[in-house]
Structure 1
Amino acid sequence: MQWEDYRQSENVEDRRGSGGGDFAGLPGGRGGLGIGTMVVLGLVGWALGIDPRLLIGGAELIGGIGGRQAPTQETRRQAGPPQDEMGRFVSAVLAQNEDVWSKLLPQQANRRYEPPRLVIFDRVSSSACGTAQSAMGPFYCPPDKRVYLDLSFFQEMQRRLGGGGDFAYAYVIGHEVGHHIQNLLGILPRANQLRERSSQREANAISVRIELQADCFAGVWAHNIQAMGRIDQGDIEEAMRTAAAIGDDKLQQASRGQVVPDSFTHGSSAQRQRWFNTGFRTGSMQACDTFKPPQV
């Protein structure tokens, strides 16, 4: 993926306590964070889902449940885009999303694009949805229209699931921006309202449709980045491997030893690959209607 010469987004909030890590091999914040277990939970939370209503809304999954106050951290906000290599990568990918969607959303949805802010943090930070923690994995918070990301997630994504590489990380960011698109279009709030009055099985099915649409929107972004000459050979295969690695069926088989489709919240490996590829192949938001049966 070609990003080094791309502009840097001004919509990145760097709340890390110290500068980011080394992009060579694996990016990720500080070495020896001591949160491996929490990040593994974040991988499962992001890709498998614990409670989709909590995940999508960005409420606390660890520490804040049951009335226990999650740990807090004083954060410093750097002025301007990050200067470390991984921070600049995230900032460039966010800028690419801004440039694509600022043109595409008015053209295809008759809606002006309002870019989200992306918060980079270490371990724990605050959000309008509650305490942001590494254990939650990357998430989008609708009330403050921010994406929250602890960069150590990428390190564990490669180490634990085998889904790594710069375009794979860009796919994750594109997926979260996809949730922001859903929020702007009113899809996310309507779906959350519907889930609140649904059975657990029905709520899970709605969550799957939301997540697959975000995958498809990420594919639409990738389609346009390819048209700009920013995708290298093998990048799409990298994204496909990541989509396969974080399918509910694969994660359930690895963690539980069995697959329970009714409990899926993000979609199977095949579904995630198919919907990303649908967006990438067509470049059309209209092709991303995961709510139209029987496509999901």
Structure 2
Amino acid sequence: MRMDDERESRNVEDRRNSSGGGGRGLPSMGTMMMIWPLIRPLLRTKFGWAILGLGAVAYFSGFNPLSLVGVGGSHSSPVNKAHDEKEAVFIKKVLASTEDVWSQVLLKYGIRYKKPIMVLYRGSTRSGCGHASAQMGPFYCPVDQKVYLDLGFFDELARRHNAPGDFAQAYVLAHEIGHHIQNMQGTLDKVQRAKQSWGGNSVKSNALQVRVELQADCYAGVWANRAHKQFNILEPGDVEEALRAASSIGDDKLQKETTGYVRPDSFTHGSSQQRVEWFRRGLSSGDLSQCNTFQ
């Protein structure tokens, strides 16, 4: 993917060096056992309890006081900072490309594009939609209109899902930006109201959510089409990388890997075939109107 000469977006909130970025879960049992000799004496005095209270507030606000005594951190494994920074620069350029493309495309539909913020973090952080962790994968929060991304997800995409490559990474971000487009169009709000009106009917809600996700895949394809025409970014093999990524994270494939069987009524993102088909539709047409998954 040719991005060397492209600009980096400035609409980025980099929390990678903030020791988890806030919104932590509880320390692991192993960590608790390690620090218990430090905690036990503090429990004997009011001053000690005050120190523990301040430490707890700091921990759940995002600062890890355990790091002061060499315990804990934002990651359980070391981060290759050079590799991490290279990926950060690349994904910032992809974000800039989405800004340029969607600012032009949406004008034709009478919509002024509001550029979202991309939050880069490690381990965990807080979002307008609640706690965010690396285990959740990348996601878009319509409340604060931000995309949350732990760059470690790309390593997992390559290792666990056998979907390496820079354009596979670009597809992931473009999909989340697709949700931002849906938010601007009012689609996410309509979907949420429909789900609430069904009173917890999970089958109907899941089916509707699949349509939301497939449309975001189609929007990612539209972006790829327009970005290539505007910036000549695609190289041989790039499209295959994106298709492999779309296929590898289909609900049927993930369910088969984790449980050994497939339950279509529990799908929330669509099958591998559906995800590939809708991305292809957007990629081949470059036309937003071809992405109506709700028909």
Cα-to-partner distance string for 1:19-66 (whole Å, 9 max, x where unaligned): 9xxxxxxxxxxxxxxx9xxxxxxxxxxxxxxxxxxxxxxxxxxxxxxx
Deviation of 1:71 (Å)? 4.9
Deviation of 1:84 (Å)? 2.5
In the other structure, the counterpart of 1:152 is 152
Task: Could you list the structure 1 runs, at least 4 aligned residues long, displaced by more than 4 angstroms after superposition.
Answer: none
| Contact in 2 for aligned 1:124/1:132 (Cα 8 Å) | yes
Determine the C-alpha separation between the residues in 2 that align with 1:265 and 1:129. Answer: 18
Deviation of 1:133 (Å)? 1.2
Determine the C-alpha separation between the residues in 2 that align with 1:234 and 1:71. Answer: 44
The AA in structure 2 aligned to 1:169 is Q
The AA in structure 2 aligned to 1:93 is V
Which entry has the higher C-alpha Rg, 1 or 2?
A: 2
In the other structure, the counterpart of 1:130 is 130
| Contact in 1 for aligned 2:18/2:63 (Cα 8 Å) | no
In the other structure, the counterpart of 1:224 is 226
In the other structure, the counterpart of 1:213 is 215
In the other structure, the counterpart of 2:54 is none
Determine the C-alpha separation between the residues in 2 that align with 1:174 and 1:166. Answer: 12
Query: What secondary structure does 2:160 align onto?
Result: helix
Q: Give the alignment of 1:99-178 within 5 angstroms.
A: 99-107=100-108, 109-178=109-178
The AA in structure 1 aligned to 2:286 is G
Identity %: 48
Deviation of 1:18 (Å)? 7.5
The AA in structure 1 aligned to 2:271 is S
In the other structure, the counterpart of 1:201 is 203
Q: Give 1 or 2: higher helix fraction.
A: 2
The AA in structure 1 aligned to 2:92 is S
The TM-score with structure 2 as length reference comes to: 0.77
Deviation of 1:161 (Å)? 0.6
Cα-to-partner distance string for 1:74-121 (whole Å, 9 max, x where unaligned): 39xxxxxxx9311111110000000000000111x2100001000000
Determine the C-alpha separation between the residues in 1 that align with 2:5 and 2:217. Answer: 26
Cα-to-partner distance string for 1:149-208 (whole Å, 9 max, x where unaligned): 000011011110101210000000000000000000000111111112221100000000
Query: What secondary structure does 2:144 align onto?
Result: coil
* Structure 2: gaps (5+ residues): 20-27, 29-58, 65-83
Of residues 223, 241, 245 in structure 1, which corresponds to 2:244? 241
Deviation of 1:132 (Å)? 1.6
Query: What secondary structure does 1:147 align onto?
Result: strand
| Contact in 2 for aligned 1:128/1:144 (Cα 8 Å) | yes
Residue 276, structure 1, aligned to residue 252, structure 2: no
Choose between structure 1 and 2 for higher RCO, CA contacts under 8 A separated by at least 6 residues.
1
The number of residue pairs the alignment matches comes to 235
